[in-house]
Structure 1
Amino acid sequence: MVKVHETKFELITTEDSLTEYQFHTHTHTARHFFCKTCGIYPFHRKRVSPDFFGINVYCLEGFETKGIPVRATVGTGMA
């Protein structure tokens, strides 16, 4: 995932091709989006930084990932 400000984000597919999972007990502000066809997880908005999207750059066509740091994460700590 690469963090991108919402003003720099452009969705190039229709919103109806995505499904959304919202969570955080009280606010539902953590939002994760998935492709309805293949199930890939292309992007999300975290509760702690709602003005930014986390973009799964590995599902972008023609995007060069060389030089992007990779770090291991524990999913339960990503709310």
Structure 2
Amino acid sequence: MNKITTRLQGGCHCGAVRFSAVHQRHNDEPLVAHACNCSMCEKVGYLHLIIPAANFQLEQGEGDLSCYTFNSGVAKHYFCRHCGVKPFYIPRSNPDGYSLNVRCLDSVPPELEVEPFDGQNWEQNAAGLAHLSVAK
């Protein structure tokens, strides 16, 4: 089975934080981002593209990031301390990966599909995301 590799770049609004990433999938799988309706994501319009941690590289701005945690403290929400934008974070559902904010990508892949995710009922649904941070 062939793999499709999508190279991604993005960052925060002011440009202090920049990242690069690679998303890999089998050629029969769509490129999917998730629109979560939890209390955090719905308020900020975050669109999740989850990748394995090994496929993420912070290019610049480590010192410009602030981290916010809540509830279980597992998720690490990283914000630019200058402009307040959250370009990526380490999700509770995938602590071995990163969730990239599709809205912070320099260029959104045209084949990207957005699917809803019921984060309001996170405990019942989170296991459905666990496979996304496993290297293909």
The answer on whether the counterparts of 1:46 and 1:53 sit within 8 Å (CA) in structure 2 is yes
Query: Would you say 1:67 and 2:114 are equivalent positions?
Result: no
Question: Which of the residues 73, 93, 96 maps onto 1:51?
Answer: 96
* CA offsets 1:7-53 (integer angstroms, 9 cap, x no match): 0100011211111101233xx11111111111111011112211110
Q: TM-score, normalised by structure 2?
A: 0.48
Q: How does 1:13-52 map to 2 (within 5 A)?
A: 13-25=60-72, 28-52=73-97
**Cα RMSD (Å) of the superposition?**
2.2
What are structure 2's unaligned runs of at least 5 residues?
1-47, 124-136
Runs of 4+ in 1 over 2 A off after TM superposition: 71-79
Q: Report which of the two structures shows the higher radius of gyration computed on alpha carbons.
A: 2
What are structure 1's unaligned runs of at least 5 residues?
none
Structure holding more strand per residue: 2
Counterparts of 1:35 and 1:78, CA distance in 2: 26
Structure holding more helix per residue: 2
Identical positions, percent: 30
Q: TM-score, normalised by structure 1?
A: 0.76
The change in CA–CA distance for 1:18 and 1:77 in structure 2 (over 3 A counts) is: farther
Aligned residues: 76
